[in-house]
């Protein structure tokens, strides 16, 4: 999708950059990494080379075996100037972590290592993720350097407040988490498109928890990553996005409203309050089908030896998607998600598509290792009345982009033909 150059300066937060590189690659981007000599004290070049599938450079005059190419591209026919080629060809340059020393060099145009030299040569957006001790971050020199960088158009993210590298220390200076860095990179790589301006999107994400007692619950392992990726993809197109998030701890994408809920009943109430105004519903949350009929008011105790397990009587929850579908208005597009296991997943998805009067349903097999719940990758099939589209394993951000592209066609077509006449709101058919 895009070429991302990552510059790593010296700091213990470099371990987070390894996961950031992995997330960017999972989102479909080609990644190259360059390092300062000091950064190798924290993460070696071989670690980044293994993640990206490309050699890591640490010096301005070091030969690049790929001759400036990014993974997936053919090797050039000539040897370029190393410290210029990668930066000149990048669509985004992320410097993470950016130490106080590196920030000072960037602010004053110094170029005494490959990371800072590449910054001067980069014509693409540059994103800087500060990471340092809280006292170094609060120093007037560091604050003035960051102000100067921002005034020149350099983007910054963080730092956050939390535990720092020095044992027992806490404060502002902690580098942003990899998921936050990915979201910021995606925002810079995908300029807002006007095609979805005025389109109101309602997304559900995460997994509901149905209480057994004040401590325990019946739930699932959904992290909300897929729902948040969908929300981010819609927001990048200019949509007005609201996420009803069930027990999601991941940060919300930029420009997205988040409504936090816990149970299936709370999720239903939140969706019903917003559904009529929505043009698109993306029902990505894993909603419990059953809940304890009579949750205990106090924590259940072991009262016998050996303890006798209590009998847990369940009752069905209200089918949120079925309830919303029954009151859909002309022009709305409804997309369901079916997390299944084993054979028969697609057949079940097609039946659900018809039964709940949906425009599309996204089916995946969560029993397969490395995809689905609490994973950065997914592999799904988009089922519509026109047929199935299988999306091969990729990062959830890349999968979300493909799903949103399919929904774009549904919006242009005006949703289900048996319930809609004309195009969706603020849309022209075929746009």
Over residues 241-261, the pLDDT tens digits come to 999 999 999 888 878 999 999
What's the pLDDT score for residue 378?
84
Q: Which CATH architecture has domain 3-188?
A: 3-Layer(aba) Sandwich (3.40)
Is 113 designated active site?
A: no
What's the pLDDT score for residue 311?
87
Q: Is the pLDDT of residue 106 over 90?
A: yes
Helices (H), 152-189: 178-189
Q: Is the pLDDT of residue 34 over 70?
A: yes
Structure tokens at 236: 């990048």
Over residues 312-361, the pLDDT tens digits come to 899 999 999 999 999 999 989 999 999 887 778 888 889 999 999 999 99
User: Taking the complete model, does pTM exceed 0.85, yes or no?
Assistant: no
Largest CA distance in the chain: 78
Q: If you average pLDDT over every residue of the chain, what do you get?
A: 88
Q: Is the pLDDT of residue 85 over 50?
A: yes
Q: How far apart are CA 45 and CA 62, in angstroms?
A: 13
What is the percent of the chain with per-residue pLDDT over 90, rounded to a whole number? 58
What's the pLDDT score for residue 364?
87
Helix (H/G/I), strand (E/B), else coil: 67: coil
Q: Is the pLDDT of residue 193 over 80?
A: no
What's the pLDDT score for residue 322?
95
Q: Crossing angle, helix 45-52 and helix 14-26, to 10 degrees?
A: 10
What's the pLDDT score for residue 405?
87
Q: Which CATH architecture has domain 193-413?
A: 3-Layer(aba) Sandwich (3.40)
What's the pLDDT score for residue 254?
76
Catalytic-role residue among 220, 247, 364, 378: 220
Please indicate whether the domains covering 3-188 and 193-413 agree at the CATH topology level: yes
Residue ranges covered by each domain of the chain: 3-188, 193-413
């Amino acid at each position: 999708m895009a070429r991302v150059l990552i510059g790593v300066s010296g700091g213990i937060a470099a371990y987070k950059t390894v996961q950031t590189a992995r997330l960017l690659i999972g989102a479909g981007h080609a990644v190259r990494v360059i390092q300062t000599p000091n950064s190798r004290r924290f993460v070696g070049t071989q670690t980044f080379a293994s993640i990206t599938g490309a050699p890591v450079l640490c010096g301005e005059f070091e030969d690049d075996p790929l001759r400036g190419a990014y993974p997936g591209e053919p090797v050039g026919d000539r040897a370029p100037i190393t410290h210029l080629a990668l930066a000149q060809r990048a669509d985004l340059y992320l410097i993470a972590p950016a130490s106080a020393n590196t920030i000072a060099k960037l602010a004053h145009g110094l170029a005494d290592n490959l990371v800072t030299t590449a910054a001067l040569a980069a014509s693409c957006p540059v994103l800087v993720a500060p990471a340092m001790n809280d006292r170094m971050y609060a120093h007037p020199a560091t604050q003035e350097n960051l102000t100067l960088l921002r005034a020149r158009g350099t983007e910054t993210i963080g730092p956050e407040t939390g535990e720092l590298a020095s044992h027992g220390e806490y404060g502002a200076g902690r580098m942003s988490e990899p998921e936050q860095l990915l979201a910021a990179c995606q925002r810079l790589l995908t300029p807002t498109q006007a095609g979805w301006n005025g389109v109101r999107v309602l997304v559900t994400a995460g997994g509901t928890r149905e209480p057994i007692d004040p401590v325990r619950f019946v739930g699932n392992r959904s992290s909300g990553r897929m729902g948040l990726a969908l929300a981010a993809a819609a927001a990048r197109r200019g949509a007005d996005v609201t996420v009803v998030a069930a027990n999601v701890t991941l940060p919300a994408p930029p420009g997205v409203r988040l409504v936090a809920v816990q149970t299936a009943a709370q999720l239903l109430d939140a969706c019903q309050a917003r559904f009529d105004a929505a043009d698109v519903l993306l029902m990505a949350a894993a909603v419990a089908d059953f809940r304890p009929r009579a949750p205990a008011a106090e924590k259940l105790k072991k009262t016998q030896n050996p303890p006798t397990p209590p009998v847990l009587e369940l009752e069905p929850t209200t089918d949120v998607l079925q309830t919303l579908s029954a009151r859909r208005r002309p022009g709305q597009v409804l997309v369901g998600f079916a997390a299944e296991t084993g054979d028969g997943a697609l057949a079940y998805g097609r039946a659900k598509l018809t039964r709940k009067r949906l425009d599309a349903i996204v089916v995946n097999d969560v029993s397969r290792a490395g995809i689905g719940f609490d994973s950065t990758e997914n592999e799904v099939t988009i089922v519509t009345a026109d047929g199935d589209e299988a999306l091969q394993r990729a990062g959830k951000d890349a999968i979300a982009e493909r799903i949103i592209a399919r929904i774009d066609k549904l919006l242009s077509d005006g949703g289900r033909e048996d319930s809609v006449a004309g195009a969706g709101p603020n849309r022209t058919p075929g746009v």
